[in-house]
C-alpha cells in the first residue's frame, strides 16, 4: 500500500508540474497571435503528448493553419519538424516520416538552415530504427556535409556518430570504433558534453557486441551522467536499459532489476511506447532467470501488448512507399525545371531522337523478320527451362512451408499439452491433500507429495528447455565462446544428478581427464551434457551404469555419455533431433519427457561448430557422442 501511494504521489507531482507549464503556455495563447502563438502551440502539443494524443494533434493542426495563413515557409517547416518529433516519440513512424518529408520539401530549395539539419537528421534516425540502413546512411551523410557549411559542430559530430552506429549495426566493429574515437576526440576538443556522452554510450554498445562486457559497462555508466537533465529522456532510458542488459548477462540480477525498473519508470513518464516495451522485456528475462515466473509473465505480457502496434510490417511498407513517392516527385520536379530552362534545345533533341528511333525501329523490324524463325525455337526452349525451374522452386517452397507449419504446430503442442498436464496433476493432488489431509494415510500423503515434487521439477526443466529453444529461434541467445575446463563442468553436473541416480541405485561416474580444455560456449555445453545425463538416468533401470568420458584427437575433443539402459528403437533414431517429429518415451520409473531436450542439444552443439551423434541398441543402452573444438589447439 505504501508503494502504491508513493507511485500515485509521483504521478500527481508530474501532472502538477506539467499542468503548471500548460497553464503558463495557455495564458500565452490567450494574449498572442501569429508566430508567437504558433510556437506556444508547438510546446503545448509536446506537453500533451504524454497525456492526450487527441489534444496534441489539435494543437498541431492549429499551428499548421497559422503558419499557412502567414505564408511563412520557415515557420511551417519548424511546425512539421516538431509534429514529426512528437509522433516519433510515440513510435508512430508513418506519421513522423510523412511530416518530415513535407518539411524537407519546404526547405529543399533554400540555403541550409538549422531546421533543415534537424529534419534530415531525424529522417536518418527513423530509417535506422526501421533497419533501412542505406537510406539512413544517406540522410546522416547529408546532415554532416550541410552542418559544415553553416558551422554547426554539434550536428556534424552527431551525424558522424550515427554513421558509426550504422557500421556497428552491420557488424563492421573496426570501422565503427575508429570513427567513434575520432568523433569523441573532436567532441572533447570542442568541449561538447552531449556528444561526448552519446559517444560513450555507443562505444559501450560496440564493446558489448564484441563480447567485452566489463568495458561496455564502464562506458554505459559514464553515459548516465545526463540522468538529471530533463531534455534527454530517451537517451537516459537507453543508457539504463544497456546497463541492465549487461548486468543480466553477467548474472548480477539485483542491479539489473534496479536499472530496468528505472528505464521502465522514465519511459512510462514520457509515454515512450518502444522504450516501455524494451524495458518490460528486459524485466521479464531477469525474473525468468530468477525463476520468478509470475513477475516474468506480467512484464512479458506488457511487452507483447505493445509489440504488434509498433512494429507492423504494413507500417514499414507504407513508410518505404511514402519515401519512394517523395523521392520520385523530387526527381520529376528537377526534370521539369531542366526542361523549362532548355526548351528550345530540347525540341531539337526530341526531333533528332524521333528520327533516330524511327530508323532503329525500321532496322529492328527488318532484322526481326530475318531471324524470327530461328529465335522462336530458342525462345520456346528458354521459356520451358524457366517454367521447369519455377516449378522446382515452387515445390521447394511448399516443402519448406510444410516443415515450418509442422514445427509451429509441434511447438504449440508442447506448450498446450506438456506444460498443462503437470499443472493439472499438481493442482489435483494438492486439492486432495487440502480437503482430505487428515483422512489420507501417511504413506499415501508422502506419495502425493513425491508426485507433486516430480511434476514441479519436470515443468521447471521443460520451461528451461522451452526458453532456451525459443531464445535460439529468435537469436536472443548469443554464442560466447571461451576456453574452459570440461572436467569441472562434468563434475558439477554429476554432483547435481547424484541424488536422482542414487534413488535408482545407478552408478554415475566420469573419466574425463582433469586437464581437458574445450573452446565453446560454457553455458550451452553445460546445458547439453546436463540434458543427456538426465536422460540417461531416466532411461536406465535399477543398478545400471552411466559414464561421461572424453578423448582428444588433434584439434577435436570427443565427449561420450553412455548408459546400459533400455536403448532406443531403430525406427526412432532418425526422429530424435526433429521438433516436427518428436519421440516421447517414459523412463524406467515412469518419468515423463517432452522430447525438446535433444532438439535443444543439437542446436546448441551446432552453434558451437560441433556435431552430435547417437549409437543405440534396444535393451543394451545408448551412447551420445559430442564433437567440439580443442581449447589448447585454439590457444596455439
CATH number at residue 605: 3.30.565.10
Q: Which range has the worst mean pLDDT, 255-259, 327-331, 352-356?
A: 327-331
- Alpha-carbon distance of 558 to 627, in angstroms, equals 5
- Say if residue 355 is in the same domain as residue 501: no
Q: Which of 418, 439, 468 is the last residue of a domain?
A: 418
Kindly state whether residue 361 falls inside one of the protein's structural domains.
yes
CA 30 – CA 35 distance, rounded (Å)? 14
Domain assignment present for residue 260? The answer is no
CB atoms closer than 10 angstroms to residue 353: 11
Q: Looking at the structure, do residues 626 and 489 belong to the same domain, yes or no?
A: yes
Residue 32 domain-assigned (yes or no) = no
In a domain, 181, yes or no: no
| Domain assignment present for 396 | yes
Q: Is pLDDT of 134 > 70?
A: yes
- Domain co-membership, 529 together with 388: no
Mean pLDDT of the region 337-341: 60
Whether 600 and 500 map to the same domain: the answer is yes
**CB-based contact 604:528 (threshold 8 Å):** yes
Label residue 408 by pLDDT band (50, 70, 90): low
Same domain (yes/no): 395, 483: no
Compute the distance between CA of residue 201 and CA of residue 253 in angstroms, rounded to an integer.
Answer: 21
pLDDT value, residue 69: 92
Task: For residues 387 and 520, state if they share a domain.
Answer: no
Contact status, residue 504 vs residue 537, Cβ threshold 8 Å: yes
Residue 537 lies in a domain: yes
**What is the chain's Cα-based Rg?**
33
Beta-carbon contacts of 68 under 8 Å, excluding residues fewer than 6 positions away, are 76
Which of 376, 400, 418 is the last residue before a domain boundary?
A: 418
Secondary-structure percent of the chain, ordered helix, strand, coil, rounded to 5:
75, 10, 20
Is it the case that residue 593 has pLDDT exceeding 80?
no
Q: Is residue 492 part of a domain?
A: yes
Across 396-423, average pLDDT: 61
pLDDT in tens, 345-364: 677 677 777 888 887 888 77
Burial of 426 (0-12, 13-18, 19+ CB in 10 A): middle
Range of the domain at 503: 478-635
- The DSSP bridge partners found for residue 517 are 485
Q: Which residues, 6 or more positions from 427, have their beta carbon under 8 angstroms from its beta carbon?
A: none
Q: What's the mean pLDDT when you consider all of the chain?
A: 79
**Does residue 373 belong to any structural domain of this protein?**
yes
Residues 577 and 499 in one domain: yes
At 73, the pLDDT band (50, 70, 90 cuts) reads confident
pLDDT tens digits, residue range 201-240? 888 888 888 888 888 888 888 777 655 556 667 778 888 8
Domain boundary among 371, 386, 418: 418
Asked if residue 407 and residue 482 are part of one domain, the reply reads: no
pLDDT-derived band at 458, boundaries 50, 70, 90: low
Q: Which three cell numbers stand for residue 455?
A: 511434476
402 and 536 belong to one structural domain? no
Residues 611 and 534 in one domain: yes
Do 503 and 576 sit in the same domain of this protein? yes
Q: Are 596 and 468 in contact (CB under 8 A)?
A: no
The residue with greater pLDDT, 561 or 403, is 561
Looking at the structure of the chain, the number of domains it has is 2
Measuring CA to CA, how many Å separate 344 from each of 354, 505, 624?
Answer: 16, 101, 83
Residues 395 and 492 in one domain: no
Amino acid at each position: 500500500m505504501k508503494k502504491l501511494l508513493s507511485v500515485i504521489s509521483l504521478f500527481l507531482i508530474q501532472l502538477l508540474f506539467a499542468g503548471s507549464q500548460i497553464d503558463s503556455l495557455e495564458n500565452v495563447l490567450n494574449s498572442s497571435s501569429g508566430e508567437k502563438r504558433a510556437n506556444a502551440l508547438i510546446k503545448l502539443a509536446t506537453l500533451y503528448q504524454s497525456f492526450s494524443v487527441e489534444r496534441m494533434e489539435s494543437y498541431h493542426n492549429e499551428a499548421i493553419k497559422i503558419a499557412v495563413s502567414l505564408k511563412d515557409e520557415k515557420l511551417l517547416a519548424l511546425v512539421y519538424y516538431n509534429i514529426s518529433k512528437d509522433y516519433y516519440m510515440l513510435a508512430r513512424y508513418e506519421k513522423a516520416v510523412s511530416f518530415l518529408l513535407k518539411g524537407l520539401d519546404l526547405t529543399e530549395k533554400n540555403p541550409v538552415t538549422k531546421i533543415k539539419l534537424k529534419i534530415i537528421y531525424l529522417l536518418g534516425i527513423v530509417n535506422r530504427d526501421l533497419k533501412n540502413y542505406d537510406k539512413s546512411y544517406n540522410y546522416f551523410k547529408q546532415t554532416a556535409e550541410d552542418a559544415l557549411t553553416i558551422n554547426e559542430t554539434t550536428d556534424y559530430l552527431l551525424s558522424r556518430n550515427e554513421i558509426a552506429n550504422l557500421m556497428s549495426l552491420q557488424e563492421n566493429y573496426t570501422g565503427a570504433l575508429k570513427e567513434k574515437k575520432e568523433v569523441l576526440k573532436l567532441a572533447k576538443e570542442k568541449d561538447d558534453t552531449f556528444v561526448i556522452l552519446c559517444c560513450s554510450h555507443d562505444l559501450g554498445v560496440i564493446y558489448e557486441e564484441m563480447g567485452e562486457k566489463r568495458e561496455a559497462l564502464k562506458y554505459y555508466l559514464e553515459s548516465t551522467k545526463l540522468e538529471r537533465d530533463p531534455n534527454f529522456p530517451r537517451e537516459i532510458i537507453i543508457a539504463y536499459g544497456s546497463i541492465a542488459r549487461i548486468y543480466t548477462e553477467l548474472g548480477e540480477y539485483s542491479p539489473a532489476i534496479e536499472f530496468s525498473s528505472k528505464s521502465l519508470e522514465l519511459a512510462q513518464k514520457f509515454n515512450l511506447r518502444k522504450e516501455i516495451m524494451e524495458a518490460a522485456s528486459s524485466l521479464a528475462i531477469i525474473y525468468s532467470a530468477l525463476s520468478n515466473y509470475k513477475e516474468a509473465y506480467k512484464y512479458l505480457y506488457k511487452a507483447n501488448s505493445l509489440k504488434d502496434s509498433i512494429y507492423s510490417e504494413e507500417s514499414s511498407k507504407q513508410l518505404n512507399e511514402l519515401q519512394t513517392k517523395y523521392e520520385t516527385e523530387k526527381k520529376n520536379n528537377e526534370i521539369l525545371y531542366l526542361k523549362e530552362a532548355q526548351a528550345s534545345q530540347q525540341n531539337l533533341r526530341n526531333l533528332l531522337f524521333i528520327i533516330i528511333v524511327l530508323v532503329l525501329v525500321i532496322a529492328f523490324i527488318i532484322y526481326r523478320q530475318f531471324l524470327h524463325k530461328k529465335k522462336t525455337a530458342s525462345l520456346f526452349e528458354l521459356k520451358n527451362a524457366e517454367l521447369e525451374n519455377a516449378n522446382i522452386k515452387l515445390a521447394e517452397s511448399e516443402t519448406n512451408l510444410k516443415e515450418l507449419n509442422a514445427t509451429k504446430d509441434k511447438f504449440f503442442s508442447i506448450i498446450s499439452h506438456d506444460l498443462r498436464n503437470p499443472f493439472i496433476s499438481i493442482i489435483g493432488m494438492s486439492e486432495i491433500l487440502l480437503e482430505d489431509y487428515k483422512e489420507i494415510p501417511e504413506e499415501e500423503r508422502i506419495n502425493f507429495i513425491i508426485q507433486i515434487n516430480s511434476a514441479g521439477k519436470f515443468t521447471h526443466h521443460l520451461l528451461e528447455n522451452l526458453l532456451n529453444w525459443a531464445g535460439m529461434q529468435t537469436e536472443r541467445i548469443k554464442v560466447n565462446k571461451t576456453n574452459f575446463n570440461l572436467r569441472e563442468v562434468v563434475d558439477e553436473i554429476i554432483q547435481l544428478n547424484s541424488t536422482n541416480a542414487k534413488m535408482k541405485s545407478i552408478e554415475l561416474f566420469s573419466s574425463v581427464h582433469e586437464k581437458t580444455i574445450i573452446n565453446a560456449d560454457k553455458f550451452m555445453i553445460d546445458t547439453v551434457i546436463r540434458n543427456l545425463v538426465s536422460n540417461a538416468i531416466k532411461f536406465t533401470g535399477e543398478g545400471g551404469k552411466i559414464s561421461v568420458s572424453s578423448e582428444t584427437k588433434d584439434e577435436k575433443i570427443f565427449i561420450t555419455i553412455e548408459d546400459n539402459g533400455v536403448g532406443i528403437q531403430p525406427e526412432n533414431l532418425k526422429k530424435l533431433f526433429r521438433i516436427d517429429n518428436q519421440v516421447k518415451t517414459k523412463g524406467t520409473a515412469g518419468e515423463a519427457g517432452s522430447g525438446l531436450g535433444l532438439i535443444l542439444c543439437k542446436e546448441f552443439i551446432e552453434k558451437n561448430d560441433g556435431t552430435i551423434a547417437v549409437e543405440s541398441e534396444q535393451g543394451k543402452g545408448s551412447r551420445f557422442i559430442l564433437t567440439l573444438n580443442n581449447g589448447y589447439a585454439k590457444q596455439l
